[in-house]
Each structure stands twice: as structure tokens, then as C-alpha cells.
Amino acid sequence: MIDIAALRADPASFEDAWNKRGLSVDVTALLALDEEVRHLKAESESLRNQVNVASREIGEVARSGGDVAAAKQRVREIGDRAKELARSCTEQEEVLTNQLLELPNPCLATVPAGADASANAVVATWGEPPRLDIVYKPHWDLATDLGILDLERGAKLSGSGFVVLRGDGPRLVRALLTFFLDHLTRQHGYTEVMVPHLVQPSVMRGTGQLPKFQAELYHCERDDLYLIPTAEVPVTNLHAGEILSEADLPRRYCAYTPCFRREAGAAGVGTRGMTRVHQFDKVEMVWLAHPDRTEQDLAALRGHAEEMLQALGLHYRVLDLCTGDTGFSAAHTYDLEVWSPGTGQWLEVSSCSTFTDFQARRAGIRYRPAGGGKPRLIHTLNGSGLAIPRCFISLLETYQQADGRVIIPEVLRPYMGGQESIGG
């Protein structure tokens, strides 16, 4: 959520930022509503003050045996009026807040302007596609032939978009997960957390999934709990409503969770195999960070994700997302895409973003400056580190051999009991 006071102070820059996201916002109406809310608040507070003062007097008079019947009647009327005004103030404030909750985070000034994904900038490329003299099979054939992927039975159990892995398939997934978590905790001092996969609506609101993206979420109606679409949601909200000390920043967490996404409207294009599924595994990196270093922090976060792709030896590129393609809550995003030689596509395996204070304001995450003083909102950042299915795809396709085997990269072998290949 944006800061209404900031909008008041500089409406033009917000309007401009939203325009760059392809959004036209009636800022004038927002500010008029804000004005009304504050007017109502001032009115009701001044009446409230009259009630407080008068009540004190009534108490004193009554104690010394005076007659307070008339005063009571008068104060009650003022009180009723104050209550009325306070009520309509709350109502209007709610209307305003609901509107604010639907507005995206303005992008940082450094983000390239552009309408859609075609304006994203490729800022780095690492490695090269594999060059064996073979026809590179797509993973849905390769993995099915190896007996480690069963799309049909996944669909039988849960419908399309759900997969069953078997044998070395799950084993490879566990190896990837453990490698990622070990790397982040041991090399970079992240704290690993294991969190609930079902969360309350307020938690979804904190990171920005609600109210706008309800349709993307699985919801358990009976308990009013949502299945998380990413570990970002519970992990970022770990410190919701808290005031951290400045010395504790940045707090860096990593977490493995399954992720559940309805992918409403995404059926059809590019959904073959396991490139886009309703349930997948992912390790997520989440930073609760100091607000003054957000771009440096984002660069570091992205670096951590890149290191792991490099360790796996996967050909990848980095996109600097343009304003039109940046997610709702984010202010600046880098996407990491791995090469899938079997399908001839780049697949997004990580999206590293800073959310500036947008999520922190929604979730109420602040820190107290070391020298004392008022609490300030922190900045939140996160990035996949990494999403399993697409790493799995790229890895299988990249390391496939003429004889149908798949070579396991060195870094994963310790996690697979020294196994050097799958199949054959």
C-alpha cells in the first residue's frame, strides 16, 4: 500500500508512476476522499474532547453532592453526535483504504519504462546452451521415458497441472531443495524457517495477494484459510506488526514450501509438461531490510540466486523488468530465466524484487532507529532460490546424453548418494 500522506504531498509523481504501469488513477478523487476523512476525524475528535472534559466535571460535581442530571443529558447528546461522526469517518476511511489496497507500488525511477514484457531488458547472460550432436528432447518425453515423471497419473489424481514424480525424480527434487537451503544457510548466513502452508486472509493482504488476486488463490472456505502461492507470504509476515531493532537488519530468511497457484486463465499456452503447474516446490529467500540500501540489497539477493544456477551449470539470462511487467507489489524486479534446450524456451526460475515499504506498510513491519526515535517502515525483498520444476526441466534437458541417460551435476551428487546419472 502506498503512503496516503506521500500522495497528498506529491500527487503528480504517483500519477506518473502509475501511468508507467499502464494504469490511470483518479488521484483527485482519492485526495478528496482523504480530505473528507480527515475533516470527519477532526470534527468527531473535538466533540469527543468536549465529552471527556464535561465528564470529568460531572464526576467532581457528583462527588460533592451536586445535581448533574441536566449536564448528563447535555453530554449524552454531544456523545451521540460524536459517535455518529466517528462512525461515518470509519466508513469513509474504509472506502479509502479499500481503494488504496488495489493500487500497485510505484516502480523505482531506475526501472525501464515499457508497456509489457517485450520492453524488458536482458542485462546479463551466463553460460551456453549444451552442444551435443543430438536432438534435445523436451522433458515431458525425456522424463517420462526415464520413468521419473508421470503426467497421466498426476491428472488422474488431481486434474491437469498436477504431476507425479517417481524414483530418481523425487530424489533429484530433494537434492535440489537441500542443496539450495544448504547453500543459502551455510554460504550466506540465511536463517531457515519452516512455516505454515495455510494462512489467514490478513497475511495474504500483508504481502499484496489480497484483495486483488483472490482468483489466483486456493481457498479453504470452512476455515477461511488460503494455500500459499509462495513462501514469501508466510515468511514476510513472520514479523508483521512488530518493531525490529535496527541492528537486526537485514533479517534474511530462506524457506522451502510447496506453492499452490490456480493459474486462472493460463490454461493452454505453454502448459505442457511441468513448466506451469498448480503445485510445485520452491525455496524462497526473504529479506526484511533497511530502507536505505534497497538497490544494493536487491543486487545481493539476485547474486545469491545466480550463484546457485551457476553451480548447477545451467545456461541462464537476467531480465530487468520494465514498469509494465513488474508485479503489483514490487518496485523493481529482476527475473532469472534458464534455458530449456528441449523446448527451446527461456523459463523463469526466479523473480527477485524489492517491494520497498509497500508490503511493510500493509503488514506493519518497522524498525526502531539505533539512535532512538520514531519507528520506520522496513523494506522487504524476496526472490526464488530457486523454483524446482523449471530447474528440474532445464537440468534434465541440458544434461541429457545420446544414450538417454542424464548426467547429474557435481554439486548435486553428494545429495544423491554419489549417484552420477539417471537412467541407462
Q: How far is CA 341 from CA 171, 259, 397, 403, 407, in A?
A: 22, 25, 6, 17, 15
Assess whether 94 carries a catalytic annotation: no
- CB within 8 A of 302, min separation 6: which ones? 318, 334, 336, 352, 383
Write out 283-313 in H/E/C secondary structure.
EEEEEEECHHHHHHHHHHHHHHHHHHHHHHC
Shortest Å, Cβ 204 to RNA: 17
Q: Which is nearer to RNA, 344 or 369 (CB)?
A: 369
Say if residue 96 is exposed, middle or buried (CB neighbours under 10 Å; 0-12, 13-18, 19+).
Answer: middle
Q: Which is nearer to RNA, 53 or 95 (CB)?
A: 53
Shortest Å, Cβ 237 to RNA: 16
Q: Which is nearer to RNA, 41 or 293 (CB)?
A: 41
Q: Which is nearer to RNA, 372 or 418 (CB)?
A: 372
Shortest Å, Cβ 81 to RNA: 11
Shortest Å, Cβ 15 to RNA: 21
Assess whether 293 carries a catalytic annotation: no
SS3 43: helix
Which of the residues 171, 251, 252, 261 is marked catalytic?
A: 261
Assess whether 348 carries a catalytic annotation: yes
In the chain, count H helices and then E strands: 13, 18
The site for RNA (CB under 7 A) is made up of 5, 38, 41-42, 45-46, 48-49, 51-56, 58-59, 62-63, 68, 71-72, 75-76, 79, 243, 366, 368, 372, 374-375
Q: Which is nearer to RNA, 75 or 175 (CB)?
A: 75
Assess whether 48 carries a catalytic annotation: no
> What residue spans of 351-387 are helical by DSSP H?
358-363
Shortest Å, Cβ 6 to RNA: 11
Which of the residues 44, 340, 350, 351 is marked catalytic?
A: 351
Shortest Å, Cβ 69 to RNA: 8
Q: Which is nearer to RNA, 72 or 293 (CB)?
A: 72
Q: How far is CA 352 from CA 312, 320, 326, 331, 360, in A?
A: 19, 10, 11, 11, 17
- Determine contact, residues 243/367, Cβ cutoff 8 Å: yes
Assess whether 261 carries a catalytic annotation: yes
Shortest Å, Cβ 380 to RNA: 17
Sheet holding 379-387, edge to edge: 121-126, 316-320, 332-340, 345-354, 379-387, 279-289, 251-260, 191-192
Which of the residues 337, 340, 390, 397 is marked catalytic?
A: 390
Report residue 60 as a C-alpha cell: 467532581
- Strand-pairing partners, residue 258, are 281
- Determine contact, residues 57/120, Cβ cutoff 8 Å: no
Which of the residues 276, 302, 361, 362 is marked catalytic?
A: 276
CA 246 to CA 371: how far, in whole Å? 9
Q: Which is nearer to RNA, 127 or 375 (CB)?
A: 375
CA 97 to CA 373: how far, in whole Å? 27
| Catalytic annotation, residues | 261, 276, 348, 351, 390
